[in-house]
Chains A and B, each alone.
Chain A
Amino acid sequence: MRRNIYSRLAVTGMRKNKRLYLPYLATSAGMVMMFFILATLSASDSIESMQMGSRTTQIVLNLGMIVVGVFAAIFLFYTNALLIRRRNKEFGLYNVLGMNKTKLCRILFWETLLSFLFSLVLGLAVGALFSKLAELLLARATYGAVTYHISFQPMAFLLTAAVFGLIFLLLLFFSFAKVRLSKPLDLLKSEAVGEKPPRANWPLAVLGLLLLGGAYYLAVTITNPVQAVTLFFVAVLMVIVGTYLLFIAASVALCRALQKNKRYYYQAKHFVSVSSMAYRMKRNGAGLASVCILATMVLVMLSSTGCLFMGAEDALRRQYPYDFSTTIYYQTGSDMDPAILERVEKAVLAVTRGREKDLVRYRTFAAFGEVDAEGVAGHDTGEYGTWYMMPLEDYNGIMKTELSLAPGEALLYDPQHHYPAGRFIVGDKTITLTGVLDEAPIERPNEELEGMSWALLVLTEADWTALVDAVTTADGREFSLGWHAPGQTLAFHVTEDGADREAAEAAQKALQEMSLEDEDAILYYGTFALSDMRSGYFALYGTFFFLGVLLSIVFLVAAALIIYYKQLSEGYEDQSRFDIMQKVGMTKKEIRSTVNSQVVTVFFAPLVMACLHLLFAYPMISKMLVVFGIDNNSLLLMTNLGCVLLFALFYVLIYRLTARAYYAIVST
């Protein structure tokens, strides 16, 4: 019996404070669950045997797992500190009644142990149930790029138990340290110490504004998507620090400034709100800033991964206009033996057996090198790009158009609008631009995604040959072109799923054979099937989206919990204030309305701020998505609006629920 007293004290203590402990335990169980699900998915051995893309999935999931683990640690520390502070009075009483600190620590030990076991068991149990669902969702999100079977992962169990065991062990030491360092009387009254009035810290407030303004400026002015990825992190850090400073310092400064304005301040509807607002912000600024950051993360994550996921098919189509395509490049100077392509075509068509449609063949000359507005052979511009040159006949063939050109004239397809000049000089040849093309259904170079320029020049047959010769025979000093080669492409759509893959295999085999027969005939060849590309895309984007949703849930729950605890602690503080104000002559209704206006302001400030952050992040996100091949502003706009709406709805719901807890405390 005696041996059990500490565990029993721990249990009664937690039960008495269930308003505080239940959400804490539920959240920590939720974190365990999320961690476990991610661990299970990423450790799933079936991944190893999967096709391409599964590795990506595994890596992304692993990263997500680390994020959840780190976040869980930070968050549990935060809430634990809050709980300990609330219970100081109880511990102070035990201490005064003669329980020494070693014994207090024993109670804490039991509490932490029970919390740990509870969250672990519950989290693992629910996690095991949900991991199958998560597998199905992931499989769906990646369009079956990763197919899981039900698998029991002892490693995932062990890993989860070890990680959370470590977190709770650290929590325990932290609590011990807190109790050891405190004096009994402090424990007794630590909740009722007279609080200094908040002072306006103008330098910090201004710094916060500057940081935020700077981050916003960065976000709006960035033009290069590749640069955007690095600068994005700088801007994110600035926004985080800026938000904290704004909520902690600038809000108080604003309240103090309002108090200085006597005419404004000494009015019934401002008087109480403004003065207590300053205190509220001083105490809750950090918590609110955290909620704001979490909200921003959720919004950015959901909208960008959602946009990636929904835009993936478009991006795929843009990158690969045909279901199947093979391109053969030849040694420069060779005259592209037509027999080679014919042989490939024969081999491919033997496999597809009529399941192909819209078959096209075209010739291109690809050149990679320094370019500038004056032409392919620009000097020392430092900018590299890829040029494709195509005879008009071939372009008309693909597009089924009847365009015509005079000698010396050309049409340009320039997706990045890099070449405003009306003429191009290649060697001693000058080509005049007579029109701009809107479409070019050829496979896009990967360089586009890295922000490098590329363009397609459509010329007359004679000019094309001449240009190819000019580039090929030119002196290296004159043309700072790197790799260049003439090529032939065969491409078509298929009418049946998987036919593209068969075609790609057949082409691959034929080309391999020919390379073996004559090493010099073919310089290089590339073949792809859209199905393969698609599974690669969705393995990445689908997993991103899946993880985005999962992490969003974690962050949302964390934000909800911070809000809940904030409402509770405000409730306890407002309780006594309510009483005084009533005696001084405020009606219950008046009190309720001033308190309500404060609560609402405090509550919705993070949401408004998060939306502002998102608004300024928008240009940056849109540019970064271009790196992932998504260049669809209306889709991004829709996903953003959708996420904001969804989030606001959820936020109001949390508000309703927590406000109830708040009024329950205040009205007793």
Chain B
Amino acid sequence: MSSILEVSGLRKVYTTRFGAVQVEALKNVNFSVEQGEYLAIMGESGSGKTTLLNLLAALDKPTSGSILLDGQPLDRLKESEIASFRRDNLGFVFQEFNLLDTFSVEDNILLPLVLAGLSYREMRSRLEPLAESLGLTPLLKKFPYEISGGQKQRAAVARALITQPKLLLADEPTGALDSNSTDELLRLFSAINRAGQTVLMVTHSVKAASHATRVLFIRDGEVFHQLYRGESSTEQFYQKISDTLTLLATGGEV
């Protein structure tokens, strides 16, 4: 298996405006993601999860260290290339859905394709099977304010997948959902992953993480520990993650 993402020696320091205070959000992060993997990154608030995700999405530049996506170093990308790189290679799902309220569900999903300059027919041919598989077909003409949170998140997933990205990045995707919608979304992620999509999810929900094939734990800006699912069931994996977190919280070493 080849790694699709390689992160090595990643460090990010935030400096307050007048340089008085420096905050080291990430110290030294190293990990890699294999093709077809479903990786969850866990950590408490302030552990550096969001910083990591911003760096992976090329929304921010690291202080030092490198990120290779499919062999291509992100920090070498020019400012003008970043946006189209992001559009072609990465799909995003956010906690707050981030649908544009001026667009119908259909237009929201098509947005990345429109930006990429595809013809309408091509867009439709990609949209139809995707919308069908995500159960979005009856909702396509609706507007974000007319549908539930779970439905919005499914639309956001469809928007992320329609470009057929190399890597799907999810930032607390279940954070704003009720438990039914959460279950539904996690089943969806698993299904997508089984179909071959590489997924990287940042979360602090044990339940969400227990669906992944591997879990990384971040604490104070460093990868602290990792767990492989192996042959264990979702319930067993849930227990393992939970135990690890307890250990982390009580300050023990694994």
Q: Which residues of A contact B (CB under 8 A)?
A: 194-197, 262-263, 266-268, 271-272, 275-276, 278-279, 577, 579-590
A197, B59: Cβ atoms closer than 8 Å: no
Kindly identify which residue among A195, A584, A587 contacts B145, using a CB–CB cutoff of 8 Å. A195
Cα A17 to Cα B146 with chains together (Å): 33
Given A581-B100, A583-B57, A583-B86, 13 more A-B residue pairs with CB atoms under 8 Å apart are A197-B102, A262-B120, A266-B110, A266-B119, A268-B115, A276-B102, A584-B87, A584-B111, A584-B112, A587-B79, A587-B83, A587-B84, A589-B80
Q: Are the C-beta atoms of A194 and B145 separated by less than 8 Å?
A: yes
B56 CB to closest chain A CB (Å) equals 12
Contact at A583–B115, with CB atoms within 8 Å?
Answer: no
Number of cross-chain contacts by CB at 8 Å:
79
Chain B contacts to A: CB under 8 angstroms: 57, 59, 79-80, 82-84, 86-88, 92, 94, 98-104, 107, 110-112, 114-117, 119-120, 123, 143-146, 159, 163
Complex Cα distance A262/B99, Å? Answer: 21
Across-interface contacts of A590 in B (CB, < 8 A): 83, 115
Least distance between A192 CB and chain B CB atoms (Å): 10
- Whether B92 pairs with A271 at a CB distance below 8 angstroms is no
Known: A271-B114, A585-B86. A263 touches B92 (CB 8 A): no
Of the candidates B79, B99, B102, B146, the one having the most CB atoms from chain A within 10 angstroms of its own CB is B102
| Cα A638 to Cα B246 with chains together (Å) | 83
Q: Give the Cβ gap from B212 to chain A, nearest Cβ, in Å.
A: 22
Interface centre among B104, B110, B114, B144, by most A CB within 10 Å?
A: B114
Say yes or no: A194 contacts B144, CB within 8 Å. yes
Q: How far is the CB of A285 from chain B (nearest CB, A)?
A: 15
Q: Closest chain B residue to A580 by CB distance?
A: B98
Q: Which residues of A contact B117 (CB under 8 A)?
A: 267-268
In the complex, the answer to whether A197 meets B143 with C-beta atoms within 8 Å is yes
- The B interface is mostly helix, strand or loop, or mixed, namely helix
Check A587–B159 contact: CB distance below 8 A: no
B24 vs chain A, min Cβ distance (A): 24
A586 contact set on B, CB distance < 8 A: 83, 87, 115
Q: How far is the CA of A194 from the CA of B152 in the complex (A)?
A: 13
**B92 close to A584 (CB less than 8 A):** yes
* CA–CA, A185 and B104, complex, Å: 27
Main secondary structure of the interface of A (DSSP, over half): helix
Q: Which residues of B contact A194 (CB under 8 A)?
A: 101, 143-146
> How distant is the Cα of A206 from the Cα of B59 in the complex, in angstroms?
47
Q: List residues of chain A with CB within 8 A of the CB of B143.
A: 194, 196-197
Q: Are B114 and A268 in contact (CB under 8 A)?
A: yes
A279 to B111, CA, bound (A): 17
Closest to B123 in A: A266
User: Could you tell me the distance between the alpha carbons of A590 and B117 in the complex, rounded to whole angstroms?
Assistant: 13
Q: Are A585 and B112 in contact (CB under 8 A)?
A: yes
**Minimum Cβ distance to chain B for residue A581 (Å):** 8
Q: Are B94 and A583 in contact (CB under 8 A)?
A: yes
A219 CB to closest chain B CB, in angstroms?
37
Q: How far is the CA of A410 from the CA of B148 in the complex (A)?
A: 91
Closest CB pairs A-B (n = 3): A194-B145, A585-B87, A587-B83
Query: Which of B83, B104, B112 has most chain A Cβ within 10 Å?
Result: B83
State in angstroms the CA–CA spacing of A583 and B163 once bound together. 13
Q: Closest approach, in angstroms, between the C-beta of A187 and any C-beta of chain B?
A: 20
Closest to B104 in A: A197
Residues of B within 8 A of A275 (CB): 100, 102-103, 107
B175 CB → nearest A CB, Å: 16
Whether B120 and A583, one on each chain, are in contact in the complex, defined by CB atoms closer than 8 angstroms, is no
Residues of B within 8 A of A266 (CB): 110, 114, 119-120, 123
- When C-beta atoms are compared, the residue in chain B nearest to A579 turns out to be B98
A580 touches B100 (CB 8 A): yes
Contact A585 B83 (CB under 8 A): yes
Contact partner, A585, options B84, B94, B98, B102, Cβ 8 Å: B84
Task: Give Cα distance in the complex from A225 to B185, angstroms.
Answer: 74
- A272, A582, A584, A588, most chain B CB atoms within 10 A: A584
Q: CA–CA, A268 to B116, complex, Å? A: 7
